[in-house]
């Protein structure tokens, strides 16, 4: 992962500036959009409470989570998050690839949606922040926009992708990269990817409907915990990811015999 450190001040200025200039307006108070939007603050206590509540699903004795995609714990956690989306006033649906999507409608139906969100499945023996923070923070942002009556020109979709850790099923279905033969692959849940999609409410027979073409999503933003310690060591609160580690896995069979050198 290559991260360019950015101070919190720089980040706030950039994002608030972009938001105010690009698409934010406050209902009934046109000329004051900029002033209002820069003073928005999320409720950190509420967000932390949700992180804690979500951590119950698949909790391990060590305090982490084993919530592999398509497991019972994953299914229950998705139901919990769907309730949060509904409480935030969003219209929820599950797309054909099993992605959970909540939509906040916009003041102008002609603009394509902004997407934000992450995943809530985990690797076996995973932590409580990977994916969860980005998912729940997205909902918190929507709740804050609702409470402050901030109208956006774009619809705002919160998306919880399916099976991020076992093949990036949901996100690759959206980008059109998911291949039909992958539906037969087994997952750590004991279900194949196809069975798993059906288990969480999707429909693998209609995968193509989950696909979004160029221009159909205005922008996508994912908040994610740092997958390393660079920012933490540097004392920087937030950074923008410019590249990530590419993972390749091979099964290698070596024929021969073992001797003292291996
Ligand atoms: Zn993640």
The CATH number of whichever domain residue 81 belongs to comes to: 3.40.630.10
Q: How far is the CA of 171 from the centre of ligand 1 (A)?
A: 12
Q: How far is the CA of 79 from the centre of ligand 1 (A)?
A: 19
Query: Is 131 a domain residue?
Result: yes
Query: Is 237 a domain residue?
Result: no
Average of per-residue pLDDT across 247-254: 86
167, 193 Cβ separation under 8 angstroms: yes
Average of per-residue pLDDT across 102-131: 93
* Ion ligand 1 residue ranges (Cβ < 5 Å): 130-131
Query: Is 238 a domain residue?
Result: no
Residue 3: beta bridge partners? 241
Confidence band for 4, pLDDT divided at 50, 70 and 90? low
pLDDT at 155: 97
Average of per-residue pLDDT across 54-64: 93
* DSSP notation for 123-182: -TTB-SSTTHHHHHHHHHHHHHHHHTTEEESS-EEEEEESSTTTT-HHHHHHTT---GGG
Q: How far is the CA of 35 from the centre of ligand 1 (A)?
A: 34
Q: How far is the CA of 133 from the centre of ligand 1 (A)?
A: 9
Query: Is 216 a domain residue?
Result: yes
Unique residue bearing structure tokens 């994610």: 224
- Report the C-alpha gap between 134 and 82 in whole angstroms: 15
Q: Which of 70, 92, 71, 72 is nearest to 81 (CA)?
A: 92
What is the Cβ-side half-sphere exposure of residue 73, based on CA atoms within 13 angstroms? 20
249, 135 Cβ separation under 8 angstroms: no
Query: Is 250 a domain residue?
Result: no
Q: Which of 211, 194, 212 is nearest to 203 (CA)?
A: 194
pLDDT reading at 233 higher than 60: yes
Average of per-residue pLDDT across 161-187: 96
Q: How far is the CA of 224 from the centre of ligand 1 (A)?
A: 7
- Report the C-alpha gap between 66 and 59 in whole angstroms: 6
Domains in the chain: how many in total?
1
Q: Could you tell me the residue range of the domain that residue 180 belongs to?
A: 40-225
Torsion, CA 58, CA 179, CA 226, CA 215, rounded to 10: -120
């Amino acid at each position: 992962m290559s991260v360019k450190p950015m101070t919190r001040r720089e980040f706030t200025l950039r994002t608030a500036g972009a938001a105010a200039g690009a698409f934010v307006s406050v209902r009934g108070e046109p000329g004051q959009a900029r002033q209002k939007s820069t003073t928005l603050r999320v409720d950190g206590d509420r967000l932390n409470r949700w992180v804690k509540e979500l951590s119950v699903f698949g909790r391990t004795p060590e305090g982490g989570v084993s919530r592999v995609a398509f497991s019972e714990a994953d299914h229950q956690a998705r139901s919990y998050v769907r309730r949060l989306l509904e409480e935030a006033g969003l219209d929820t649906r599950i797309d054909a690839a099993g992605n959970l999507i909540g939509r906040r409608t916009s003041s102008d139906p002609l603009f394509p949606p902004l997407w934000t969100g992450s995943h809530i499945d985990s690797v076996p023996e995973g932590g409580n922040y990977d994916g969860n923070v980005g998912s729940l923070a997205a909902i918190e942002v929507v709740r804050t926009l609702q409470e402050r009556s901030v109208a956006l020109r774009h619809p705002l979709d919160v998306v919880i992708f399916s099976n991020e850790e076992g093949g990036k099923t949901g996100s690759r279905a959206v980008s059109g990269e998911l291949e039909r033969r992958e539906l037969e692959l087994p997952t750590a849940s004991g279900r194949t990817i196809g069975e798993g999609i059906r288990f969480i409410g999707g429909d693998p027979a209609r995968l193509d409907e989950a696909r979004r073409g160029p221009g159909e999503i205005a922008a996508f933003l994912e908040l994610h915990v740092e997958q390393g310690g660079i920012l933490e060591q540097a004392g920087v609160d937030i950074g923008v990811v410019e590249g990530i580690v590419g993972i390749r896995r091979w099964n290698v069979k070596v024929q021969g015999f073992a001797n003292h050198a291996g």
